[in-house]
């Protein structure tokens, strides 16, 4: 087991490495280089510009710049101070968890991330739970009542959910529940955005937070809901065609027992492999959902950084997303192997 | 066609006779002709494509409008073109301070409304401790100065309340008060309105609004309503004169967002001239100012919404089609090579796809598009170059299975060159996979492009795409509901049709897959 996990982690290192190269190359493609926005500051004198360019090392070949980003430059006695004496750099590199400073906020990238992580986790986890808790029963029931009105309408609904852009779905839900349908206080039934009421300084009561969470959760979880229900329906139909189900029927078990005790339990197993793609899906959807609902999470932070071309942030987001997805895939593989004894750890 | 019908598993003998001797493509077409849903979807897509192609002709000759003509007077015209909205330029709102919108009719009565005037005056508010700001706004032409009497006092608390002005910002003690409004500045002046039990809270802005007919008599002639404004509290049941938003005056001021500001009540006038206020659009009961008909109304700049939708379709569809073709060409090429040769090439392709797939596609696209800031041409390239992974996997898998079939083995055994095997034996058999993937891919690309444009990174204004039209519309939300609904509907219908076509084609090419 430990060996298996270790091997999976080792296997993912080349992928991560390639991702860092990719992130670096994309950012280097920027017109004028990634630091153009810093160097174009009209308040800087030409000497300042030369000094900053030297400090950042933007004139060095890109493999060296990449290495500095990766492992830092504190081992390099490269930068000269005012007296001309060389001194070590102060970057530790991303391998030592130093993602540098945000150009815009002028704060450590990691700190900015840590601040926003809670909001994104709250939204992401609740969206996943929402998708699972509705998608799994719908999938199972669709398989049980195969060909029925319920099954067909759920399949149509799943196609429609996939075809409707989630940003539009979000806007329409805001319009419906935030404007058209009134709550008892004459305002919209649900708030139109943000994570919690803006005027409160202390932690707001749970129902307020749930009110704010509801619409973004539905929008973010909608795609997963459609995916899970279709996937589970197919998985259920696979299982139900197998021999042991026929055996269970033959020995006279009730239909309900066969479907739910024998069928559903085994049909649920492949769901473990869905964790990795689900994390990637939720993460990808978070950009749009957080933007529509003014949700103060990492997705919104990323969009702000992209608009402002805040390169340290952009590179860090790329690396973090890759880590999150890869970890998701590893965990789902391990889970799958743990749940299903037919899978061996080699 | 190289493949004959016997490749497909058939259900019974009759069907076998029916299909005998026909190529895979003929069979697929035959099945497709019976699939009404797919045919309808195809017809809709065809209509959309034709509409997009002929957008300029339709715009000039049928709609008789211009997609680029802006006219603030026609802003936010809803479908039907019988109503006009008040245009509130958004940049004039301040995040802190006071945003007051006063609308008043030109005549004294309610019925003959000719125009609506909007006045927005931002101002920083400062308050002493224990005091609160109050804004009194009234707007009827020809009104003499009004005085406010606090509780039962005989001396006016404030005299000469000017129309529509922010100098009416009074600091009054916190607590419950009765506000009496009279003409002139003496306690004997004509009673205009009384507001009882107005609660003045600290750190809030209480607004008293006077509205109604001034030439009437007594207390009922001029109605008054007071309301305290918190961050998002905008609702008033009846108001002709309306304060839209004012933020808190204290340091804990909340931000006023444009979304809040655009909640304007719709005003209609009943038979007796009384105002009926509904949520939604602010109508003044007149048709488009220039006498044209705007079938789907106009947007915030007074541009015709329908012709913009057609032009947006032109851009969205052509970008999706072009990018889909690029990604199909790359995906099929790489997939065939990887699947046919296997070995090191296959491993390299797999590693590359696995690497790139460990990031959400939207993130990579966003980063590339934000960094490169491309025009439509480069956007197509970027979308195409990042969209081939799925097709490549499909084609690779299919090629792997085709490679092992007898006719490939025999072609090899008689010494056919690799190029002949690939183009004559493998490629035609991939046709069904590719056509299905193309339909689904175009749908997905429309979604991706509109998401990028919605987030402000894809197609940028003034070019219209369905995504950036939505992005623009979300700012005006309640004022122009039609601006939010139609672009989204267009995207959804197009993508849905393409998905249906994709599914229909898959069933037509390979009925064994149908569940």
CB nearest to A303's CB, from B455, B481, B488: B455
Residue B207 and residue B130 share a domain: yes
pLDDT of residue A237: 87
Residue B385 and residue B316 share a domain: yes
| Contact at CB, A172 and B485, closer than 8 angstroms | yes
pLDDT of residue A282: 85
What confidence tens digit (pLDDT) does each residue in A162-199 have?
899 989 999 898 888 877 777 776 666 777 766 665 44
Last residue of one domain, picked from the residues B291, B323, B353: B291
- B13 inside domain: no
Q: Looking at residues A278-282, what average pLDDT do you find?
A: 82
Phi/psi at A75 (nearest 5 deg)?
-90, -10
Positions of chain B with pLDDT lower than 50, given as ranges: 1-7, 81-127, 137-143, 164-166, 212-225, 227-289, 515
CB nearest to B366's CB, from A160, A197, A306: A306
Residue B356 and residue B321 share a domain: yes
Residue B215 and residue B312 share a domain: no
Residue B275 and residue B183 share a domain: yes
Residue B484 and residue B370 share a domain: yes
User: Which residue in A has a C-alpha nearest to residue B368's C-alpha?
Assistant: A26
Residue B183 and residue B275 share a domain: yes
Task: Tell whether A202 lies on the interface with B, counting CB pairs under 8 A.
Answer: no
| Contact at CB, B496 and A187, closer than 8 angstroms | no
Residue B103 and residue B28 share a domain: no
Chain A residues whose CB is inside 8 A of the B45 CB are none
| Structure-block tokens of residue B15 | 């069907």
What span, in angstroms and rounded, lies between the C-alpha atoms of B338 and B408? 16
What span, in angstroms and rounded, lies between the C-alpha atoms of B432 and A305? 43
pLDDT of residue B495: 94
Residue span of the structural domain in which B181 resides: 84-291
Residue B500 and residue B472 share a domain: yes
Residue B255 and residue B232 share a domain: yes
CB nearest to B488's CB, from A29, A168, A314: A168
pLDDT of residue B291: 56
Q: A286 pLDDT exceeds 50?
A: yes
What span, in angstroms and rounded, lies between the C-alpha atoms of B217 and B192? 8
Nearest Cα neighbor of B86 from B254, B225, B289 is: B289
Q: How distant is the Cα of B496 from the closest Cα of chain A, in angstroms?
A: 5
Last residue of one domain, picked from the residues B261, B291, B321: B291
pLDDT of residue B44: 93
**DSSP SS3 for B198:** strand
- B135 inside domain: yes
Task: Tell whether A61 lies on the interface with B, counting CB pairs under 8 A.
Answer: no
Angle at B98 between CA B164 and CA B70, to 5 degrees: 80
pLDDT band at A29 (very low <50, low <70, confident <90, very high): confident
Please check whether residue A75 is in contact with residue A88, taking contact to mean a CB–CB distance below 8 angstroms.
yes
- B301 inside domain: no
Question: Residue B34's domain is classified under what CATH number?
Answer: 1.10.3720.10
CB nearest to B367's CB, from A191, A318, A322: A318
Whether this prediction's pTM lies above 0.80 is answered by no
What average pLDDT does the structure give for chain A? 80
Nearest Cα neighbor of B151 from B209, B202, B195 is: B195
ipTM of this predicted structure: 0.86
- Written as one string, the DSSP assignment of B126-188 is ---TTEEEEEEEE--TTPPPEEEEETT-SS-SEEEE-TT-GGG-EEEESEEEEEEEEESSSTT
Residue B162 and residue B249 share a domain: yes
User: Which residue in A has a C-alpha nearest to residue B232's C-alpha?
Assistant: A187
Nearest Cα neighbor of B171 from B120, B209, B126 is: B126
pLDDT of residue A269: 80
Task: Tell whether A314 lies on the interface with B, counting CB pairs under 8 A.
Answer: yes
- B137 inside domain: yes
For residue A277, count CB atoms less than 10 angstroms from its CB and return exposed for 0-12, middle for 13-18, buried for 19 or more: middle
pLDDT of residue B211: 52
Q: A344 pLDDT exceeds 70?
A: no
pLDDT of residue A87: 67
- Residue A17's contacts (CB-CB under 8 Å, 6 or more residues apart) are none
What is the widest separation between alpha-carbon atoms in chain B? 116
What span, in angstroms and rounded, lies between the C-alpha atoms of B299 and B305? 6
| Contact at CB, B454 and A288, closer than 8 angstroms | yes
pLDDT of residue B318: 92
How many domains does chain B divide into? 2
Q: Which domains does chain A have, with CATH numbers?
A: 110-337 (1.10.3720.10)
What confidence tens digit (pLDDT) does each residue in A48-67 have?
777 777 776 667 777 878 88
What confidence tens digit (pLDDT) does each residue in A289-327 have?
988 888 888 888 888 888 877 888 888 888 888 888 888
Residue B216 and residue B271 share a domain: yes
State in Å, rounded, how far the first CA of chain B is from the last one. Answer: 28
Last residue of one domain, picked from the residues B291, B317, B335: B291
| Contact at CB, A167 and B470, closer than 8 angstroms | yes
CB nearest to A159's CB, from B235, B370, B496: B496
pLDDT of residue B225: 47
């Amino acid at each position: 087991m430990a060996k298996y996990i270790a091997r999976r982690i080792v296997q993912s290192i080349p992928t991560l490495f390639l991702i860092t190269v990719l992130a670096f190359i994309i950012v280097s493609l920027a017109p004028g280089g990634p630091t153009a926005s810093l160097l174009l500051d009209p308040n800087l004198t030409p000497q300042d510009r030369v000094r900053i360019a030297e400090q950042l090392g933007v004139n060095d070949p890109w493999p060296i710049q990449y290495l500095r980003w990766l492992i830092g430059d504190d081992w390099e006695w490269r930068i000269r101070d005012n007296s001309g004496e060389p001194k070590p750099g102060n970057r530790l590199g991303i391998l030592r968890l130093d993602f540098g400073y945000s150009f815009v906020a002028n704060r450590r990238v990691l700190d900015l991330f840590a601040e926003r992580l809670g909001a994104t986790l709250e939204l992401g986890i609740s969206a996943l739970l929402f998708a699972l808790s509705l998608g799994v029963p719908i999938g199972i029931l669709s398989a049980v009542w195969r060909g029925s009105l319920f099954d067909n309408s759920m399949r149509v609904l799943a196609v429609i959910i996939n075809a409707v852009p989630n940003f539009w779905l979000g806007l329409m839900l805001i319009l419906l529940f935030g404007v058209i349908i009134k709550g008892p206080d004459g305002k919209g039934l649900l708030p139109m955005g943000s994570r919690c009421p803006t005027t409160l300084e202390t932690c707001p009561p749970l129902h307020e937070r749930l009110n704010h969470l509801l619409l973004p959760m539905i929008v973010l979880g909608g795609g997963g809901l459609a995916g899970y229900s279709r996937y589970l329906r197919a998985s259920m139909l696979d299982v139900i065609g197998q021999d042991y189900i026929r055996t269970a029927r033959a020995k006279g078990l009730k239909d309900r027992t066969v479907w739910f005790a024998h069928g559903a339990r085994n049909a649920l197993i492949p769901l473990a492999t869905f964790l990795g793609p689900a994390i990637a899906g939720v993460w990808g959807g978070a950009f749009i959902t957080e933007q529509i609902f003014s949700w103060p999470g990492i997705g919104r932070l990323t969009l702000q950084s992209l608009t402002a071309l805040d390169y340290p942030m952009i590179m860090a987001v790329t690396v973090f997303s890759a880590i999150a997805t890869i970890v998701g895939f590893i965990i789902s593989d391990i889970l799958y192997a743990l749940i299903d004894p037919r899978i061996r750890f080699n | 066609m190289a493949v004959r019908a016997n490749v497909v598993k058939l259900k019974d003998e009759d069907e076998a006779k029916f299909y005998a001797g026909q190529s895979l493509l003929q069979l697929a077409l035959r099945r497709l002709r019976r699939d009404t849903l797919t045919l309808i979807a195809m017809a809709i897509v065809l209509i959309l494509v034709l509409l997009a192609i002929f957008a300029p002709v339709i715009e000039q000759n049928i709609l008789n409008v211009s997609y680029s003509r802006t006219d603030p007077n026609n802003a936010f015209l809803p479908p039907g073109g019988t109503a006009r909205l008040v245009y509130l330029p958004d940049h004039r709102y301040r995040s802190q301070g006071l945003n007051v919108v006063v609308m008043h009719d030109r005549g004294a009565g309610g019925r003959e409304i000719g125009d609506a005037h909007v006045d927005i005056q931002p101002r920083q508010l400062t308050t002493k401790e224990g005091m609160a700001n109050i804004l009194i706004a009234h707007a009827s032409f020809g009104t003499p100065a009004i005085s406010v009497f606090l509780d039962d006092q005989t001396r006016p608390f404030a005299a000469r309340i000017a129309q529509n002005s922010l100098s009416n910002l009074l600091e009054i003690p916190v607590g419950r008060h009765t506000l009496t409004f009279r003409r002139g500045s003496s306690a004997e002046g004509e009673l205009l309105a009384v507001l009882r039990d107005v609660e003045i809270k600290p750190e809030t802005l209480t607004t008293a609004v006077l509205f109604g007919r001034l030439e009437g008599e007594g207390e009922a002639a001029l109605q008054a309503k007071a309301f305290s404004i918190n961050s998002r509290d905008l609702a008033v049941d009846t108001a002709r004169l309306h304060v839209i938003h004012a933020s808190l005056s204290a340091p804990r001021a909340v931000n006023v967002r444009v979304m809040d500001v655009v909640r304007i009540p719709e005003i209609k006038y009943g038979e007796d001239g009384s105002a009926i206020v509904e949520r939604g659009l602010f109508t003044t009961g007149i048709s488009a100012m220039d006498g044209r008909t705007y079938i789907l109304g106009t947007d915030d700049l007074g541009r015709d919404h329908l012709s913009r939708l057609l032009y947006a379709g032109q851009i969205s569809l052509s970008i999706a089609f072009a990018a889909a073709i690029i990604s199909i060409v790359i995906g099929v090429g790489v997939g065939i090579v990887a699947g046919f040769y296997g070995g090191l090439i296959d491993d390299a392709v797999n590693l590359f796809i696995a690497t790139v797939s460990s990031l959400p596609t939207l993130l990579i696209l966003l980063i590339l598009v934000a960094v490169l800031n491309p025009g439509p041409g480069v956007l197509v390239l970027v979308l195409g170059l990042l969209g081939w992974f799925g097709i490549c996997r499909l084609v690779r898998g299919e090629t792997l299975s085709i490679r092992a079939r007898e006719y490939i083995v025999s072609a090899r055994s008689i010494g056919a060159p690799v190029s002949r095997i690939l183009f004559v034996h493998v490629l035609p058999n991939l046709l069904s996979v590719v056509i299905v993937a193309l339909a689904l891919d175009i749908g997905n690309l429309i979604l991706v492009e509109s998401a990028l444009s919605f987030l402000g990174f894809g197609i940028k204004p003034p070019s219209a795409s369905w995504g950036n039209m939505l992005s623009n519309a979300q700012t005006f939300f309640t004022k122009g509901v039609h601006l939010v609904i139609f672009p989204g509907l267009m995207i959804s219908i197009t993508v849905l049709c393409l998905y249906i076509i994709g599914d229909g084609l898959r069933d037509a090419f390979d009925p064994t897959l149908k569940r």
